[in-house]
Amino acid sequence: MSCVHVHATVKLRPPRSTDERPETTDLRLKWGAGGGEIAVGSRGTVQPYPSFNPHHDAENLRNSMKGLGTNEDTIIDLLTSRANFQRQYIIQSFKSSYDQSLIEELKSELGGHFESVVEGLMLTPGKFDAKELNDAMAGPGTDEHILVEILVSRTNRQLWELAEAYQSDNAMSLKDALESENSGEFENLLLALLKGKRDEGYNVDQSQVKVDAQELFAAGEDKWGTDETKFIKIFCRRNFTHLRRVFEEYYQLTNKDIEDSIKDEMSGTLQMGMLAIVQYVKNPAGFFAKKLYESMAGAGTDDRSLIRIIISRSEIDMMDIKIQFLRLYGKTLFSFIQDDVGGDFQKILLCLCGMNEDE
């Protein structure tokens, strides 16, 4: 088995009519407003496939599942060398040609964690995140770490699409679900992140940096008790470049790292959430490298987190995550996965994280 990963600018024919377009906003954005040229991101390990033919791919997938047994290698090679928006076309083509749900057909042929990865790859990013959040809140307890990881690391547009997907797939809005499962300032933090109101530019106003650092100091270290609302507003609204300067200014002002102040001033899930924001702002790839390491370190594997992070970052910044993983732990992510899981589950994860260990 070999994994095909293309790093190039790809030109594809846009759909001839709106009827041909998958119903996801995510895919419409890929095509842009007026043309078929797609500028491929440079830091993902999964890239759009050139000379893409969804009908041909749908036929190959059907052939891999016909008769006795399943050709898992074909499924792995094909799905890990197509971008998510291309997989949505394959789903439509499969339905059009065979009047069957490709996702359901794949699920009926596969099993275990391998099936979970394949299903995750076939969902749009918004629906995948919505499913992860729903699972995190299902049952008697809530996995707050998953809520924070997803809401902290998604762009404004991704958050809007996530909320829309959650609403369409569940009996309540994501806002209502978060309110029913959480409370206090941690709930306020999650809802502030969900609004998707962050400045996503790169401009830094040094005078505002000083104001923000002073306000954080006044809201925490310089008073009895803590004004969590001030922390939440600044952390959830400012752009990342600005926040990094605020953290530097805060250290100059207090001779204390912002993370240490959060540890002193806050506790429980709120502390966890605020620290996650700081750590992601400081080093997004390092944030996910640490989470991947924790999912595989020690006895047992947190397969759910391993799958979620590799799928969600494979088209965004997996190359950077691999670099940070090696820097932090002295071992490649590739070799860590090889040692931790096996079979087709291992094969598909290795293809998604990139077979070239030097990346």
Q: What pLDDT does 249 receive?
A: 98
- Residues 120, 128: contact at Cβ < 8 Å? yes
Mind listing the pLDDT tens digit for each residue in 340-351?
A: 999 999 999 999
Report, in this order, helix, strand and coil percent for the chain, each rounded to 5: 65, 0, 35
Neighbours of 325 (CB within 10 A): 25
**306-312 average pLDDT score:** 98
Q: Which residue has the higher pLDDT, 255 or 3?
A: 255
How many residues in the chain? 359
Per-residue pLDDT at 357 exceeds 60: no
pLDDT confidence band for 223 (50 / 70 / 90): low
Q: What pLDDT does 2 receive?
A: 64
**67-77 average pLDDT score:** 92
Q: Give CATH superfamily name and number for 10-110.
A: Annexin (1.10.220.10)
Q: Where are the domains of the chain?
A: 10-110, 125-194, 206-282, 284-353
Gap between the terminal Cα atoms of the chain: 20
**298-318 average pLDDT score:** 95
Nearest-CA neighbor of 304 among 312, 198, 156?
312
Q: What pLDDT does 15 receive?
A: 39
Q: What percent of the chain shows pLDDT beyond 70? A: 86
For 148, 182, 245, 294, the CA distances from 205, given in Å and listed in that order, are 28, 35, 10, 37
Sign of CA dihedral 309, 315, 316, 317: positive
Q: What pLDDT does 299 receive?
A: 84
pLDDT confidence band for 356 (50 / 70 / 90): low
Q: Which CATH class is domain 206-282?
A: mainly alpha
What are the residues whose beta carbons fall under 8 Å from the beta carbon of 164, sequence distance 6 or more?
25, 126
For 85, what's the count of Cα atoms within 13 Å in the CB-facing half-sphere?
21
**86-114 average pLDDT score:** 98
Phi, psi of 38 (to 5 degrees): -115, 120
Q: What pLDDT does 6 receive?
A: 46
Per-residue pLDDT at 175 exceeds 90: yes
| Architecture field, domain 284-353 | Orthogonal Bundle (1.10)
Mind listing the pLDDT tens digit for each residue in 83-96?
A: 999 999 999 999 99
Is 125-194's fold the same as 206-282's? yes
Mean pLDDT score of the chain: 89
**Choice among 20-29, 56-65, 70-79, 181-190 with the minimum mean pLDDT:** 20-29
Neighbours of 177 (CB within 10 A): 21
CA dist 231 and 216 (Å) reads: 6
Going along the chain, which residue ranges are E strands?
A: 10-11, 37-38
**28-51 average pLDDT score:** 58
β-partners of residue 37 are 11
**CATH number, domain 125-194:** 1.10.220.10
Alpha-carbon radius of gyration of the chain? 22
Q: Which residues of 138-148 are buried (b: 16+ CB within 10 A; e: fewer)?
A: eeeebbbbbbb
CA dist 158 and 163 (Å) reads: 9
Q: What pLDDT does 225 receive?
A: 59
pLDDT confidence band for 160 (50 / 70 / 90): very high
